Amino acid sequence: MGEIDESFIQSIEHRPKSTTVEAEGIPVIDLSAPNSQDLVVQVGDACKNWGFFQVINHWVPSSCREKVELASRAFFQQPSLEKRKVRRDEANPMGFYDTEHTKNVRDWKQVFDFTVENPTVVPASHEPDDVELQEIVSQWPEYPPNFREACEEYAREIEKLAYKLLELISLSLGLPAEKFNGFFKNQTSFMRLNYYPICPILHLALGVGRHKDSGALTVLAQDDVGGLEVKRKSDGEWVQVRPTPNAYIINVGDVIQVWSNDRYESVEHRVMVNSERERFSIPFFFNPSHNVMVEPLKELTSKQNPARYKPYNWGKFHTTRNISNFKKLNVENIQIYHFRI
């Protein structure tokens, strides 16, 4: 990524500030708390007021996380030529790539993506009338030798945590615990290893530009470097999510915003670059099956509170979003507000 390419430069209003706000941070929730009703209330409040929270005492073994973190470092340390052997392309959206764009500005990062289900079934194209499907299978590098095993073991653990959180969220909306589970049969979830190299143009670029996550729920592991910022709902200020050892950062995505008919909003976030230390993070994007029509739940709408969104097909939405990130189309990305009533 050595050369400084104009495509990385953020427009002035979106450039990172030189001071960061660390005042009131996102809530920290202890999942081992003995009072389950209290836990549900805490999760509900965090989703409503922040859209983001951290969890501790979550039962994901730290050895499992350490193993995938080491494997990720080893993979990204390789020369680009090696990494490109498992490069993402138009045929396979999983694998390595280093030219992702968020809102048409290039992100200062490299990623490796793999699916949680192998194979994962998705639409063959974004064309609305094309009903053909396609199976995606992750590609795996030869080095480091335990890479695939570390990734797959970690994904299984995080998936368990994601279901647990989904159930807490469902309860917090006054719904049965397993209300959402059926949407995730044949899920299109994927895991991403993020590598943010040291960046010499600190005040011009971002690791990931401001965005909302389009899926249901994100479970993120960040290392001790820091750089993730969340747009605080109360005042629109960008606040740092201070690294907490062994915690996971959870945020609701656009799909939960629609299911909950805006009770829980998907919140903007971004990643700052760092001129001294490289940074690693691992988000798990918990996504429904391709054939799910995303729409406000009947239980959460009423005459006084009618549905605010038209139904949209998750698979087509996601496929459309993916190609525009990949190709840097000069049009705005598809967004849930396009389905607003």
SS3 15: coil
CA distances from 11 to 78, 141, 142, 206, 281 (A): 32, 36, 39, 11, 25
In the complex, least distance from residue 77 CB atom to Ni ion, rounded to whole angstroms: 24
User: Cβ closer to Ni ion: 241 or 292?
Assistant: 241
Determine the Cα–Cα distance for residues 154 and 86; give it in Å rounded to an integer.
20
Q: Which does 215 bind (CB under 5 to 8 A by kind): ligand OGA, Ni ion, none?
A: none
Q: Which of 138, 257, 260, 281 binds ligand OGA (CB under 6 A)?
A: 281
Q: Which of 46, 136, 173, 208 binds ligand OGA (CB under 6 A)?
A: 208
Determine the Cα–Cα distance for residues 126 and 134; give it in Å rounded to an integer.
12
Q: Which of 120, 138, 187, 194 binds ligand OGA (CB under 6 A)?
A: 194
Q: Which does 86 bind (CB under 5 to 8 A by kind): Ni ion, ligand OGA, none?
A: none
Does residue 213 interact with ligand OGA by CB under 6 A?
yes
Q: Which residue stretch of 19-27, 85-93, 173-181, 220-228 sits at the interface with ligand OGA (rule: CB under 6 A)?
A: 220-228
In the complex, least distance from residue 142 CB atom to Ni ion, rounded to whole angstroms: 29
Determine the Cα–Cα distance for residues 141 and 78; give it in Å rounded to an integer.
11
User: Cβ closer to ligand OGA: 39 or 267?
Assistant: 267
The candidate with the shortest Cα–Cα distance to 14, out of 119, 97, 103, 76, is 103
Does residue 222 interact with ligand OGA by CB under 6 A?
yes
Determine the Cα–Cα distance for residues 2 and 254; give it in Å rounded to an integer.
34
User: Cβ closer to Ni ion: 213 or 223?
Assistant: 213
Bridge partners (DSSP) listed for residue 221 = 282
In the complex, least distance from residue 151 CB atom to ligand OGA, rounded to whole angstroms: 16
Does residue 51 interact with ligand OGA by CB under 6 A?
no
Which parts of 57-116 interact with Ni ion (CB under 5 A)? none
Determine the Cα–Cα distance for residues 306 and 312; give it in Å rounded to an integer.
17
Q: Which of 25, 209, 283, 315 binds ligand OGA (CB under 6 A)?
A: 283
User: Cβ closer to ligand OGA: 194 or 257?
Assistant: 194
In the complex, least distance from residue 333 CB atom to Ni ion, rounded to whole angstroms: 13
User: Cβ closer to ligand OGA: 222 or 289?
Assistant: 222
Exposed/middle/buried for residue 16 (C-beta within 10 Å: 0-12, 13-18, 19+)? buried
Does residue 102 interact with ligand OGA by CB under 6 A?
no
**Cβ atoms within 10 Å of 238's Cβ, excluding its own:** 17
The candidate with the shortest Cα–Cα distance to 170, out of 259, 251, 249, is 259
Which parts of 205-234 interact with Ni ion (CB under 5 A)? 213
The candidate with the shortest Cα–Cα distance to 193, out of 299, 278, 315, 90, is 278
Determine the Cα–Cα distance for residues 90 and 85; give it in Å rounded to an integer.
15
In the complex, least distance from residue 28 CB atom to Ni ion, rounded to whole angstroms: 19
Residue 269 CA neighbour count, 13 Å, CB half: 27
Q: Which does 271 bind (CB under 5 to 8 A by kind): Ni ion, ligand OGA, none?
A: ligand OGA
C-alpha angle 267/268/273, rounded to 5°? 140
Residues that bind Ni ion (CB under 5 A): 213
Residues that bind ligand OGA (CB under 6 A): 192, 194, 208, 213, 220, 222, 228, 269, 271, 281, 283
